[in-house]
Each structure stands twice: as structure tokens, then as C-alpha cells.
């Protein structure tokens, strides 16, 4: 449990201090960190409660405990000696420098887009054995990119903190799942409907709550997200309850099924059927949906409505003095964001073929929000980077089977996924509080486009 | 109060804005008490008073940020007092009434965004409220939101990229550039508003309000923190606005130099009560005003000659 | 009537637990204006530590005198959980102080994920059942409806929970209103910069706030464990959300508000389950929150926020 902030990072090393005292200080702080780790870990690492017949039993694991203390001690020592020597900056300094590292976001965007377009073939050629797995992962990442872009409208542009975004994702997924089950709708019929329904829900939920400020809005949206899930679990006769909805149809290609048999896509185009086709097709669908989200967002940013969203984030009172109806403007941002979640939701349903309330927990909202904030509020390309890093990262952890050889067969790397995910969230945020890409591109220019530094940009509601 | 009689009629005859029996209570504090005054069309009217007198509160009531506890606030488009239209609107409970003579707006009934959009009363803020993370140009485009919204077919046409919207946007940028030229900020159009120096921010805020094409422009201490040169430029700019655009200006100002130099009409507030109302010369010599500013009774230690000089229109240092 | 009284008691008991957690949220929000999302998980940590202490004492050391066991579990758990609270603030929030509003919110969510998964990895994902430790109670009234007798009983368990909460609340209010710590806290709430200029050690005050919040959450954790008899790594989430709801309902930043909100949420939940459907009890609690906020945006006891223009 060591990290850059532990014990006394704030004390900057005194220039006149010699190497000797620096070493002692490092040792002292490392000891404190180790001791703290020992205290914190005592009841969790050294002791373990397990169910045995007749009740609970405590077992001890001193080895694990000592190892953990040693690791924290060593880690802190190393940090002190090799890292904090170079000063430790958090907070406002992290604004402008980052973008200098990145070439103009336009170029990055173009390259990323080109890569995204050929991605399935890239995997098929280079990793013929694992292509299915990689394309599937790409689909997952692309879904999060789309969700991130959708939420970005609400949080990044309009500055409204929405912790219940997953509710609209669920609305989209269930509206397809249920319409397929009860009405026999296909994906392409259900897709616009899912978006519309989610947007409508956005309006309905947004109407009463959007007048709340900052954190109140956050907690109420969180509550709504949970409420929708509770309803999905308990309205068994309609939603199938915890068992969810299964047998959701796959998308067709202009009426042709991607599968085996006569009248299928392969049959008509004379291609022998391979399961990978389905993945490639799904990939291109989500890519198209994500690009649509991006296109619409970029367009909206340059329209009065988008500018009003950003103005709202900057200063709501000034907006009101300029004749902007803030309630309607907020509602439009909220429901536009919801609409894209609805699209993504119905894609999720068709991809999985099965949905249940399990998939729409608060954690999901938190992950999407984390992607938006870590990427850099308002930055489209930042969200792509954050999705790839965070989602790709946790999925990679599933595949670290070689670790079993080091830690023994009972070691399950997958168990540590979320632990590492959470730690990464904390570390990245402490390292770059404004996210990876924190500059803003103006929506209109007179002569020369200049990026706006993070230190000027407000974060909306409450401040 | 004796010199008022003649000048009084000018703003009474053709008021663009009237405040009638306005009261505003915050819990136990009566911040404004039964205040009535007029803002004449085409006048530069100054609202002055010591700190905490309730000036900003008057602005907030006029622009709909606060709902007054009591009173009526009427804005008028078109000539004259339009008494009938006002009475009609008041009686019928409508928010505004349009007639052959023009239109009247009962501001105390209207939400803030409608006041700037429909009644065309624009304002600036005492502590500047720009969109700091947006460029100067964007700030001015946001001010034209409602026009552009309509032109973009409420976004649908905009997404499709209709030529009519492109044209409207060009016009909006042109208007923005027009105002930027007048506040001398064209070269900074693409910079973040938050990066501008203080004086530029103040002027930008005025330019932004002017992009609404207001009938009445309410300025809350526009000269605060400006140096004498900037302050003189500001006076010229305000006159320009009034003379070329016919915008009536209501301004709060502590700098007596500015007030005495440019205002046609001065209203003095103290503890939420109007203590004087008239043209600059009349107010300047009103013993009540001098007393309020000098605090005859309780603040005798104030450097009297300097303040007096201030009041009599010499170039003053901006008060806090 | 008996049924009603019984539900009232149950509601107050549950509400006490929510209230204790809510205080942690409200204090932190009051002083640094952030939602400490990890607080619910600190409560869960407290419950696990209590359980471990309880088991060590009873199975390893063979202590059988229950009051001693409970007392020690309470003290040790408060102490160790405080360390957790302190460390979380130090690691995840302090480096971001003065930074942008969303950054600490994200680290808080990250911390919440870390804590849950840390406990899951180290203690296993399965629930830990603990047989009821304190049995019996006082019968308050009894009556019969349609031939079946219904009793309203105040169990010793409930007495302990409500009693401890009450004592802690009083002690705590005194601490806040009478000591210099409380004064520093209120100073930091008003204006952190000014407070630090006037010699208030802001960092220390904030740390102490987290420590106190964590200690109270640990108490709630112990009580939760005793009341329900099962805990797992996930209990912090829902309890946390409810407690935060309670804090907001009562008016965030207000200590009595947090307690009142906690009691109300507990009562709503219990009565809703008793008279309507158990399944939708959370929906009921959240709906009440939404309704209250819409009509009283600053909660029941919160100071109305004046929008100065
Ligand atoms: N939203 C509010 N809630 C409570 N009191 C308020 C509010 N707004 C203003 N006041 C009080 O009303 C009184 C008048 O304030 P106001 O800001 O209008 O004064 P002012 O004349 O603009 O002063 P200054 O010259 O300092 O700007 C003050 O006592 C102020 O504290
Ligand atoms: Mg003022």
C-alpha cells in the first residue's frame, strides 16, 4: 500500500542536506511506511477468517504479512531515493506540459482512426490464433470508448456530474432485449428505438434533478442508476428478474444472417463461414456507432447548443445573464448523452446475446466516469487512450497465466484485476489530476487556433 | 432636492426602465426598501451608494437573479411610459404585453434568461463572470446563443450543415469582431478569456453583453480596478454605445470622477433607501449624499477634504 | 400497533447504523467539500476488523465474557479503522487538495474499488456468517391480531446499538462544539485558507476529521456485524450509498442532519419493507431523497445555500 503520497512527500528535500541525511530520512520514512502497512494489513494479511464446519475460524499467515511489510518498506525506500529527489508535483502544475508531448490531436486522431479501420485484419494477419480474442477485446474497448464519448457530453462538456450513466446503458440494452423477446424486433429496428427510449428517460429523470447543484446531482443520478437496477431485478414477470433476458438475436447484414446455412451472409457472398466473421462484423458495427458518437459530438461542439454546454460548465450564472435557458440546455446535454448510452446498450445486448441486471452496476458507471476523467474532461482522444489503457489493461491481467508459474497454481491473476484497476485509477489521478489530455480546442477561431490550457478550464457545477 | 424639478421630467417622460416600490428582504435584512426610480431612454444613469447599500441587489432584481420581495420592474421597448400597456399586463398577470406603441415587460415576473432574451436587458457582474476556458470569440458567440439557436434550426439544421446556419454564424462572428474592435481585443480573439488581463476582461464582459443588442445595459462597477487611462477610455466607450446604438446604460460606480463626468442622471442609495435622485450637479450638492458618503456621525475620522474633492467630480481613485 | 412499534424499533436500529456512517460523509464533505466514496468501504473494513478481533478473542484466547469481547472489538476496530481512514486521506486525497473537483472524486471511487478488492483477495469472496451473539430482550407490549400473538420487543442487541449511538452522538457533539479541534474544524469549513493563515493546522484538522469518521464507521461496522450476523466485502457499497443519501437528506455538512437523515432512511426502509414490498425498499429510500432534494435543495437541516451573484 505504498504510493507517492505516503507519510511525508510534501517535505521537499532541503538542498543543503547531504546524501547521508537523505539516506537516513529515506530509511526513517520507509520504516514508518512499513510499520503502517503492518498495522493496516494485520487483520487482512496476517489473519484470515474462513468458514469451517461449526462456525468461523481464524488462521494466521505471518509470511504473507512480513512479505507485504518488506515490499512496502523497500518500495517506499526506493521511491524516496530515486523519485522524490526530483521533486514531486501534484495539483495544478500538470496542465500545459502534457499536450506538448502529443502532436496535434487531429493527427493522432487520424492515425488512430486509420488503425481502428484495419484493426480486425491486422489481428487476423498477425495473430491468426488469437485473432478472435483480440477482436473481441477491441469490441469491448470500443464499447467503452463510445460510452466514454457519450458521457463526455454530460460531464466533460456540460459539466454535469452524472454517476448513474449506466442506467441509460441498461435502458438501451433492455429495450432491445425485451423488444426482441416480446415483439421479435431485430437489432437494426431496435437500435434507434433504444437510443430514443434512453434519451426519453434522460429527459424524464433529468427534468426534476438537473436543477440540483454539483454533488447533489451526482448522488441523485447514482440513486437513479441503482433504482433502475433494482426495478430490473424485481420486475420478474417483465424483465426476467436476476435471470435476465437471453436469446437476443445477432445483428443481420441487410437482412442476411452472419452464420451458417442457406440465405446467410457467407452463402450469398460465396464465402465459407467462419466464426470470426461475426466478430469482425460486430467490431465494425460498434466502430461505426462510436464514430457516429464522435462525429455528432464534434459537430455539436461547434453549434450553439454545444457552445452553450461548455459555457454552462464555465459559468452558469453568466449563461443565464446571456439569455440561455439553462434547464433546457442541461436537459439536452443529459439526454443526448443518454441516447448514446442507449445505442451502446443495445449493441451490448446483441453482442452478448444475454443481459441481466448484473451488468449494470454502479461499478460500470464508475469505470466510464473514470475513463472520461482520466482521459481528460472534454477530450475525445484522451478518452480513447484512457479506454485502451484501463480496459485493455484489466483484460490483459486475465491472461497473465505465466504468473501462476511464479506464485504457484493457486494464484489467480484475474482476482487482482479490479484491485489493480482501482490502484491505477488512484495513481493516474494523483499523477495527472486533469487527465491525460487536458487542453481544450476552441470551437471557433478567428485567425489562429490556439489550445486552451487546463488551468483556465472550469469543471462545472459547484465551483 | 430642489434642483430636481426640471430635469426630473426627462427620465419620467420616456423611461426605458422603471423600478417601482422595490423591496428585497434576505431573512432579517431589508437590503432594499421601497425603492423607486426611472432609467431614461438613451440616458446614462448611475446608481451610486456606499458599500452594501444594495446596488448589486437592485441589479439582481432587475435582471431576474433575485425575485424581489415586493415591487414592480418594467422595461419598455418603444417610446413613452406606455402606462396603459403596463396596467394591462399587471392586471392580466401576463409577463409582457406588446402593443402598437412597443412592448412592456414586467421583469419581476420573468425568469433571468427571458429578461436578457426578450426584454433585452443585459448585464455585467461586479466580479467578472467570463467563460474563462473559452476563447474571447467564443464568449461573444455564446452571447448570441438564441439567435444562432434559431438559425441552426434548434441544432437539427446545424448538424446537417445548412447554408442558412453558416450565414448566420458568419454574421455572428462579424458582430463579435465589430465589438472586439471597439474594445480593442481583436488580436486576442483566439485567446482564452481567462488569460486576459483584468482590464481587458472587464471590457470583454461589456462587449459580450452588447452582443445581445440590449435596450438597457446594466454595468456593475465597470471601472473597478481600472487605471485612470483605462477609466477614461471606458467613458468614451460607454458614450459611444449610447450614441451609436441608442442603448440606455444603468451603471453602478464608486468612482465619482466617472459618475460625474458621464451620467445624465444619478440615483443614490444608502442602506437600501433612495436618498437622492437627479442630475449629476444636483446630486453632488445634495447634503444627504455628502452625509452618507462622509458618514457625518459615526465615521468622523475619514479624510474629509479628499472625499469631498472626490464627490465634486475630480479624478478620483477608485474606491474599494 | 405492536407491529408498528416493533418496526419503529427496527427502523431506529438500522437508522442508527446509517447515521453513524453518515457522520463520516457529512464531516468530510463539510470540511473539504468532497464525497468520500470510499467511506462505505471503510465501514466494511471496520466490520471485518471487528470480526477478526472477535474471533481471535473467543477462539484463540478463549475469552467468553461477552461484554469484554465486544468492548475490545470496538476499541481495536476503531483504532485500526482510523489508521485506514488516515492513510486513505493521506494517499489518495491530500495530494489532490486544491486541485480540480472531479479528481478526488475519482480517486475516492478508485479507493473504494481498491478496498473492496483488497478485502476480497485477502479474506475471500464468501460471506462470513457469525451466529447471533446477544440474545433476548425486553417485551414492550403484546397483542393479538386474528388469533396470532404479535409482540413488540426491544432486544438487548437493539438496546446496545441505539444506546451506543446515542452516547457517541452526545460525546461527539461535545467534542465538536467544545474543543479546539471542533473549532479548527469549523474554521476550515468556513475558509480553509484563512484558517491556515490564522494558525490552524489545516492538514492535521482534515486528518483528524477522517480519523473520527473512520472510527465512527468502525462502530457502525461492528454493529452491523452483530445485527445481521453476516458480512462480506461488498457490504460497504450499499450501506455507504444509503448513508450518503442520509447525509444529503439531513443536509450535508450538518451533524445532527446526518443522524436525522440516517434515522429517517432506516425508518423508511424498514416501514416500506414491513408494509409494502421488501424488494423495493431501496427504491423507496432513494425516491424520498430525490423528492426532498427537489423541494428542499439543501436537505432537512442544511443551511440554505444562497446563490450570490
Ligand atoms: N444573496 C444574499 N443573501 C443575503 N444577503 C445578501 C445577498 N445579497 C446581498 N445581500 C446583502 O444585501 C446588502 C446589499 O448588498 P449589495 O451587494 O447589493 O451591496 P452593494 O451596494 O452592491 O455593495 P458593494 O458596493 O460592496 O458592491 C448587503 O448587506 C449584503 O450582505
Ligand atoms: Mg455590489
Give tens-digit pLDDT for A400-432: 666 666 666 666 767 788 888 889 889 888 888
Which of B26, B69, B126, B274 to mutate for ligand 1's pocket (most ligand atoms within 8 Å of CB)?
Answer: B26
Q: How far apart are CA B176 and CA B143, in angstroms?
A: 9
Residue ranges lining ligand 1, Cβ < 6 Å: B 26, 29, 31, 49, 51-57, 126; C 306, 308
Q: What is the pLDDT of residue C53?
A: 92
Q: Roughly how many angstroms between the first and final C-alpha of chain B, as a whole number?
A: 28
Q: Roughly how many angstroms between the first and final C-alpha of chain C, as a whole number?
A: 52
Query: How many Cβ atoms sit within 10 Å of the Cβ of residue B159?
Result: 17
**Nearest CA of chain B to the CA of C250: how many Å?**
22
Q: Which residue of A has its CA nearest to B205?
A: A318
Q: Is the pLDDT of residue A3 over 60?
A: no
Q: How far apart are CA A11 and CA A124, in angstroms?
A: 53
Distance C141 CA to ligand 2 centre (A): 63
Q: Residue-wise over C29-51: b if at least 16 C-beta within 10 A, else e?
A: bbbbbbbbbbbbbbbbbbbbbbb
Residues of chain C contacting residue B26, judged by C-beta atoms under 8 Å apart: 306
Query: How many Cβ atoms sit within 10 Å of the Cβ of residue C287?
Result: 16
The question of ipTM being above 0.90 is answered as no
Q: Is the pLDDT of residue C178 over 50?
A: yes
Q: Is the pLDDT of residue B197 over 80?
A: yes
Mean pLDDT of chain C: 85
Check A304 against B173: CB less than 8 A apart.
Answer: no
Q: What is the pLDDT of residue A250?
A: 77
Q: Name beta bridge partners: B20.
A: B72
More confident residue, C146 or C89: C89
State the burial class of residue A275 (Cβ atoms within 10 Å of its Cβ: 0-12, 13-18, 19+).
exposed
Q: Lowest mean pLDDT of A34-48, B64-78, B148-162, C43-57, name the range.
A: B148-162
Q: Which residue of C has its CA nearest to A456?
A: C100
Query: What average pLDDT does range A134-153 have in this prediction?
Result: 90
Which of C298, C304, C306 to mutate for ligand 1's pocket (most ligand atoms within 8 Å of CB)?
Answer: C306
Give tens-digit pLDDT for C111-159: 999 999 999 988 888 888 887 777 777 777 777 767 677 777 788 888 8
Residues of chain A contacting residue C245, judged by C-beta atoms under 8 Å apart: 219, 223
Question: Does residue B241 contact residue B247 with C-beta atoms inside 8 Å?
Answer: yes
Query: What average pLDDT does range C153-168 have in this prediction?
Result: 86
CB-closest option in A304, A324, A442 to B152: A304
Q: What is the pLDDT of residue C305?
A: 64
CB-closest option in A4, A219, A370 to C106: A370
From the CA of B29, the nearest ligand is 1
| Percent of chain C surpassing pLDDT 70 | 97
Q: What is the pLDDT of residue B300?
A: 40
Give tens-digit pLDDT for B75-126: 888 787 777 777 777 788 788 777 777 888 888 888 888 888 888 899 999 8
Residues of chain A contacting residue C105, judged by C-beta atoms under 8 Å apart: 161, 218, 373
Residue A449's pLDDT band, with cuts at 50, 70 and 90, is confident
Residues of B contacting chain C (CB within 8 angstroms): 26, 56, 60, 65-66, 125
Helix (H, G, I), strand (E, B) or coil at B125: coil
Check A304 against B132: CB less than 8 A apart.
Answer: no
Helix (H, G, I), strand (E, B) or coil at B161: coil
Q: What is the 3-state secondary structure (H, E, C) of C156-182?
A: HHHHHHHHHHHHHHHHHHHHHHHCHHH
Phi first, then psi: what are they for C165, rounded to 5°?
-60, -45
Q: How far apart are CA A105 and CA B87, in angstroms?
A: 59
CA-closest candidate to residue A319, choices A162, A453, A158: A158
More confident residue, A190 or A88: A190
Residue A105's pLDDT band, with cuts at 50, 70 and 90, is low
Query: What average pLDDT does range A116-133 have in this prediction?
Result: 74
Distances (CA, A) of A439 to A144, A174, A381, A382, A457: 22, 37, 11, 10, 8
Residues of chain B contacting residue C307, judged by C-beta atoms under 8 Å apart: 65
Q: What is the pLDDT of residue B6?
A: 46
Query: What average pLDDT does range A39-60 have in this prediction?
Result: 84
Query: How many Cβ atoms sit within 10 Å of the Cβ of residue C255?
Result: 22
- Any long-range contacts for A130-138 (C-beta under 8 Å, 24+ apart)? A131/A276, A132/A275, A132/A276, A132/A279, A135/A276, A135/A279, A135/A280, A135/A283, A136/A279, A137/A392, A137/A395, A138/A283
From the CA of B31, the nearest ligand is 1
| Percent of chain A surpassing pLDDT 90 | 15
Distance B289 CA to ligand 1 centre (A): 20
CATH top-level class of B3-120+213-285 = alpha beta
- DSSP 8-state class, residue A354: E
User: Going by C-beta distance under 8 Å and a sequence separation of 6 or more, which residues neighbour residue A381?
Assistant: A102, A105, A108, A109, A112, A375, A437
Residue C2's pLDDT band, with cuts at 50, 70 and 90, is confident
Mean pLDDT of chain A: 79
Query: What average pLDDT does range A158-178 have in this prediction?
Result: 90
Q: Is the pLDDT of residue A257 over 70?
A: no
Phi first, then psi: what are they for A52, rounded to 5°?
-125, 170
Atom of ligand 1 nearest to the CA of B60: 18
Q: Would an 8 Å CB–CB cutoff place B155 in contact with chain A?
A: yes
Q: Is the pLDDT of residue B187 over 90?
A: no
Question: Does residue B16 contact residue B40 with C-beta atoms inside 8 Å?
Answer: yes
Query: What average pLDDT does range B187-213 have in this prediction?
Result: 88
Q: Would you say the CATH fold of B129-212 matches that of B3-120+213-285?
A: yes
Distance B32 CA to ligand 1 centre (A): 9
Question: Does residue B58 contact residue B19 with C-beta atoms inside 8 Å?
Answer: yes
Query: How many Cβ atoms sit within 10 Å of the Cβ of residue B262?
Result: 19
From the CA of B272, the nearest ligand is 1
**Nearest CA of chain C to the CA of B56: how many Å?**
8
Atom of ligand 1 nearest to the CA of B49: 21
Q: How far apart are CA B199 and CA A7, in angstroms?
A: 44
**Nearest CA of chain B to the CA of C309: how many Å?**
7
More confident residue, B154 or B198: B198
From the CA of B52, the nearest ligand is 1
Q: Is the pLDDT of residue A43 over 80?
A: yes
Which stretch of DSSP H or E encloses residue B220? strand B216-220
User: Going by C-beta distance under 8 Å and a sequence separation of 6 or more, which residues neighbour residue A182?
Assistant: none
| Percent of chain A surpassing pLDDT 70 | 81
Question: Does residue B116 contact residue B213 with C-beta atoms inside 8 Å?
Answer: no
Check B65 against C309: CB less than 8 A apart.
Answer: yes
Distance B58 CA to ligand 1 centre (A): 9
From the CA of B219, the nearest ligand is 2
Distance A315 CA to ligand 1 centre (A): 21
Q: Lowest mean pLDDT of A174-188, B120-134, B294-308, C73-87, name the range.
A: B294-308
Query: What average pLDDT does range A268-275 have in this prediction?
Result: 66
CB-closest option in A300, A323, A449 to B212: A323
Angle at C82 between CA C81 and CA C84, to 5 degrees: 65
Residue B162's pLDDT band, with cuts at 50, 70 and 90, is confident
Please tell me the CATH code under which domain B129-212 is placed.
Answer: 3.40.50.300
Residues of chain B contacting residue C309, judged by C-beta atoms under 8 Å apart: 56, 60, 65-66, 125
CA–chain centroid gap for C233, Å, is: 16
Which stretch of DSSP H or E encloses residue B280? helix B280-284
**Nearest CA of chain B to the CA of A443: how many Å?**
7
User: Going by C-beta distance under 8 Å and a sequence separation of 6 or more, which residues neighbour residue C179?
Assistant: none
**Nearest CA of chain C to the CA of B168: how many Å?**
32
Q: At how many degrees (to 10) do helices C281-295 and A214-234 cross? A: 150
Distances (CA, A) of A454 to A146, A336, A440, B49, C213: 24, 25, 7, 39, 33
More confident residue, A397 or A135: A135
Please tell me the CATH code under which domain C2-295 is placed.
Answer: 1.10.3470
Q: What is the pLDDT of residue A410?
A: 66
Q: Is the pLDDT of residue A259 over 50?
A: yes
Atom of ligand 1 nearest to the CA of B58: 18
Check B26 against C309: CB less than 8 A apart.
Answer: no
Residue A87's pLDDT band, with cuts at 50, 70 and 90, is very low
Supply B219's cell numbers.
454595468
Mean pLDDT of chain B: 80
| Domain range annotation of chain A | 4-85, 109-399
Q: How far apart are CA A381 and CA A113, in angstroms?
A: 10
Helix (H, G, I), strand (E, B) or coil at B298: coil
Q: Which residue of A has its CA nearest to C53?
A: A43
Q: Which residue of B has its CA nearest to C306?
A: B26
Phi first, then psi: what are they for C144, rounded to 5°?
-135, 140
Residue A100's pLDDT band, with cuts at 50, 70 and 90, is very low
Q: How far apart are CA C203 and CA C195, in angstroms?
A: 11
Q: What is the pLDDT of residue A344?
A: 93
Residues of chain B contacting residue C306, judged by C-beta atoms under 8 Å apart: 26
Q: Lowest mean pLDDT of A370-384, B29-43, B283-297, C123-137, name the range.
A: B283-297
Residue A256's pLDDT band, with cuts at 50, 70 and 90, is low
Distance B217 CA to ligand 2 centre (A): 16
Helix (H, G, I), strand (E, B) or coil at A301: helix
Distances (CA, A) of B49 to B29, B287, C182: 17, 14, 40
CB-closest option in A303, A320, A322 to B155: A303
Q: What is the pLDDT of residue C215?
A: 93
**Nearest CA of chain C to the CA of B305: how many Å?**
34
CB-closest option in A3, A43, A55 to C91: A3
Amino acid at each position: 500500500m505504498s504510493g507517492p503520497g505516503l507519510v511525508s512527500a510534501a517535505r521537499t528535500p532541503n538542498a543543503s542536506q547531504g546524501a547521508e541525511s537523505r539516506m537516513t530520512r529515506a530509511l526513517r520514512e520507509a520504516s514508518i511506511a512499513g510499520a503502517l502497512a503492518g498495522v493496516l494489513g494485520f487483520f487482512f494479511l496476517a489473519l484470515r477468517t474462513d468458514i469451517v464446519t461449526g462456525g468461523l475460524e481464524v488462521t494466521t499467515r505471518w509470511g504473507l504479512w512480513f512479505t507485504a511489510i518488506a515490499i512496502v518498506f523497500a518500495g517506499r525506500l526506493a521511491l524516496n531515493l530515486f523519485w522524490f529527489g526530483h521533486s514531486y508535483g501534484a495539483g495544478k502544475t500538470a496542465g500545459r506540459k502534457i499536450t506538448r508531448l502529443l502532436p496535434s490531436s487531429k493527427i493522432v486522431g487520424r492515425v488512430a482512426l486509420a488503425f481502428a479501420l484495419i484493426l480486425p485484419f491486422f489481428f487476423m494477419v498477425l495473430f491468426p490464433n488469437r485473432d478472435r480474442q483480440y477482436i473481441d477485446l477491441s469490441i469491448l474497448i470500443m464499447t467503452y470508448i463510445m460510452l466514454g464519448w457519450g458521457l463526455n457530453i454530460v460531464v466533460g462538456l456540460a459539466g454535469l456530474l452524472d454517476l448513474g450513466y449506466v442506467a441509460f446503458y441498461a435502458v438501451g440494452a433492455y429495450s432491445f432485449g425485451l423488444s426482441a423477446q416480446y415483439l421479435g424486433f431485430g437489432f437494426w429496428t431496435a437500435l434507434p428505438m433504444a437510443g430514443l427510449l434512453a434519451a426519453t428517460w434522460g429527459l424524464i429523470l433529468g427534468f426534476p434533478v438537473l436543477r440540483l447543484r454539483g454533488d447533489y446531482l451526482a448522488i441523485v443520478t447514482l440513486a437513479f442508476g441503482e433504482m433502475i437496477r433494482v426495478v430490473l431485478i424485481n420486475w420478474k414477470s417483465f424483465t426476467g428478474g436476476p435471470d435476465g433476458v437471453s436469446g437476443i438475436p445477432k445483428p443481420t447484414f441487410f437482412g442476411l444472417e452472419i452464420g451458417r446455412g442457406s440465405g446467410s451472409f457467407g452463402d450469398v457472398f460465396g464465402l465459407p463461414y467462419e466464426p470470426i466473421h461475426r466478430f469482425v462484423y460486430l467490431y465494425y458495427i460498434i466502430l461505426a456507432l462510436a464514430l457516429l458518437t464522435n462525429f455528432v459530438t464534434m459537430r455539436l461542439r461547434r453549434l450553439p447548443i454545444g457552445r452553450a454546454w461548455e459555457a454552462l460548465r464555465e459559468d452558469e450564472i453568466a449563461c443565464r445573464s446571456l439569455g440561455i435557458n439553462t434547464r433546457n440546455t442541461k436537459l439536452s446535454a443529459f439526454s443526448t448523452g443518454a441516447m448514446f448510452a442507449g445505442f451502446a446498450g443495445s449493441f451490448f445486448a446483441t453482442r452478448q446475446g444475454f443481459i441481466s441486471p448484473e451488468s449494470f452496476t454502479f461499478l460500470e458507471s464508475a469505470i466510464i466516469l473514470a475513463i472520461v476523467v482520466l482521459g481528460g474532461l472534454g477530450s475525445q482522444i484522451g478518452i480513447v487512450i484512457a479506454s485502451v489503457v484501463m480496459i485493455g489493461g484489466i483484460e490483459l491481467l486475465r491472461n497473465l497465466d505465466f504468473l501462476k508459474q511464479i506464485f504457484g497454481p493457486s494464484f489467480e491473476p484475474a482476482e487482482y484485476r479490479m484491485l489493480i484497476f482501482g490502484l491505477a485509477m488512484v495513481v493516474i489521478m494523483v499523477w495527472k489530476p486533469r487527465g491525460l489530455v487536458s487542453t481544450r480546442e476552441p470551437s471557433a477561431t478567428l485567425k489562429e487556433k490556439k489550445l486552451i490550457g487546463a488551468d483556465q478550464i472550469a469543471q462545472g457545477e459547484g465551483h | 432636492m430642489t434642483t430636481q424639478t426640471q430635469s426630473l421630467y426627462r427620465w419620467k417622460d420616456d423611461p426605458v426602465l422603471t423600478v417601482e416600490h422595490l423591496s428585497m428582504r434576505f431573512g432579517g435584512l431589508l437590503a432594499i426598501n421601497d425603492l423607486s426610480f426611472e432609467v431614461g431612454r438613451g440616458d446614462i444613469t448611475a446608481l451610486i451608494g456606499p458599500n452594501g447599500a444594495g446596488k448589486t441587489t437592485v441589479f439582481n432584481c432587475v435582471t431576474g437573479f433575485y425575485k424581489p420581495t415586493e415591487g414592480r420592474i418594467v422595461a419598455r421597448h418603444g417610446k413613452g411610459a406606455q402606462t396603459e400597456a403596463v396596467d394591462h399586463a399587471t392586471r392580466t398577470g401576463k409577463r409582457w404585453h406588446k402593443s402598437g406603441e412597443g412592448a412592456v415587460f414586467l421583469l419581476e415576473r420573468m425568469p433571468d434568461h427571458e429578461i436578457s432574451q426578450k426584454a433585452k436587458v443585459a448585464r455585467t457582474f461586479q466580479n467578472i463572470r467570463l467563460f474563462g476556458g473559452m476563447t474571447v470569440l467564443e464568449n461573444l458567440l455564446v452571447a448570441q446563443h438564441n439567435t444562432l439557436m434559431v438559425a441552426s434550426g434548434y441544432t437539427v439544421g446545424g448538424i446537417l450543415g445548412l447554408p442558412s446556419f453558416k450565414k448566420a454564424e458568419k454574421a455572428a462572428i462579424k458582430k463579435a469582431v465589430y465589438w472586439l474592435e471597439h474594445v480593442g481585443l481583436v488580436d486576442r480573439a483566439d485567446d482564452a478569456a481567462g488569460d486576459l488581463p483584468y482590464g481587458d476582461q472587464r471590457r470583454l464582459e461589456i462587449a459580450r453583453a452588447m452582443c445581445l443588442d440590449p435596450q438597457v445595459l446594466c454595468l456593475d462597477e465597470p471601472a473597478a480596478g481600472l487605471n485612470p487611462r483605462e477609466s477614461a477610455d471606458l467613458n468614451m466607450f460607454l458614450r459611444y454605445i449610447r450614441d451609436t446604438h441608442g442603448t440606455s446604460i444603468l451603471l453602478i460606480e464608486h468612482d465619482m470622477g466617472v459618475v460625474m463626468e458621464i451620467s445624465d442622471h444619478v440615483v443614490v442609495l444608502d442602506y437600501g433607501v433612495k436618498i437622492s435622485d437627479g442630475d449629476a450637479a444636483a446630486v453632488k450638492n445634495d447634503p444627504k449624499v455628502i452625509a452618507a458618503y462622509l458618514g457625518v456621525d459615526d465615521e468622523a475620522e475619514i479624510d474629509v477634504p479628499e472625499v469631498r474633492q472626490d464627490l465634486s467630480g475630480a479624478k478620483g481613485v477608485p474606491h474599494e | 400497533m405492536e407491529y408498528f412499534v416493533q418496526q419503529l424499533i427496527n427502523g431506529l436500529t438500522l437508522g442508527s447504523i446509517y447515521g453513524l456512517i453518515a457522520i463520516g460523509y457529512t464531516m468530510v464533505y463539510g470540511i473539504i467539500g468532497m464525497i468520500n466514496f470510499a467511506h462505505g468501504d471503510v465501514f466494511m473494513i471496520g466490520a471485518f476488523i471487528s470480526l477478526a478481533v472477535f474471533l481471535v478473542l473467543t477462539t484463540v484466547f478463549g475469552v467468553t465474557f461477552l461484554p469484554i469481547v465486544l468492548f475490545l472489538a470496538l476499541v481495536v476496530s476503531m483504532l485500526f479503522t482510523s489508521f485506514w481512514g488516515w492513510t486513505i486521506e493521506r494517499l489518495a486525497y491530500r495530494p489532490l487538495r486544491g486541485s480540480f473537483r472531479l479528481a478526488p472524486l475519482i480517486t475516492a471511487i478508485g479507493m473504494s474499488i481498491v478496498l473492496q478488492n483488497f478485502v476480497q483477495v485477502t479474506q475471500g469472496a464468501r460471506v462470513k456468517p457469525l451466529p447471533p451473539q446477544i440474545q433476548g430482550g425486553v417485551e414492550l407490549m403484546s397483542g393479538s391480531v386474528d388469533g396470532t400473538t404479535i409482540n413488540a420487543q426491544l432486544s438487548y442487541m437493539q438496546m446496545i446499538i441505539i444506546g451506543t449511538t446515542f452516547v457517541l452522538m452526545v460525546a461527539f457533539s461535545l467534542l465538536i462544539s467544545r474543543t479546539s479541534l471542533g473549532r479548527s474544524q469549523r474554521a476550515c469549513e468556513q475558509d480553509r485558507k484563512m484558517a491556515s493563515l490564522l494558525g490552524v493546522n489545516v492538514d492535521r484538522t482534515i486528518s483528524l476529521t477522517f480519523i473520527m469518521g473512520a472510527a465512527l464507521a468502525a462502530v457502525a461496522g461492528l454493529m452491523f456485524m452483530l445485527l445481521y450476523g453476516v458480512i462480506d466485502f461488498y457490504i460497504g457499497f450499499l450501506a455507504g450509498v444509503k448513508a450518503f443519501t442520509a447525509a444529503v437528506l439531513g443536509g450535508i455538512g450538518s451533524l445532527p442532519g446526518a443522524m436525522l437523515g440516517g434515522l429517517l432512511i432506516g425508518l423508511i426502509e424498514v416501514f416500506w419493507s414491513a408494509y409494502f414490498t421488501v424488494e423495493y425498499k431501496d427504491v423507496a429510500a432513494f425516491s424520498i431523497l430525490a423528492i426532498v432534494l427537489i423541494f428542499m435543495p439543501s436537505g432537512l437541516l442544511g443551511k440554505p445555500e444562497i446563490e450570490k451573484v
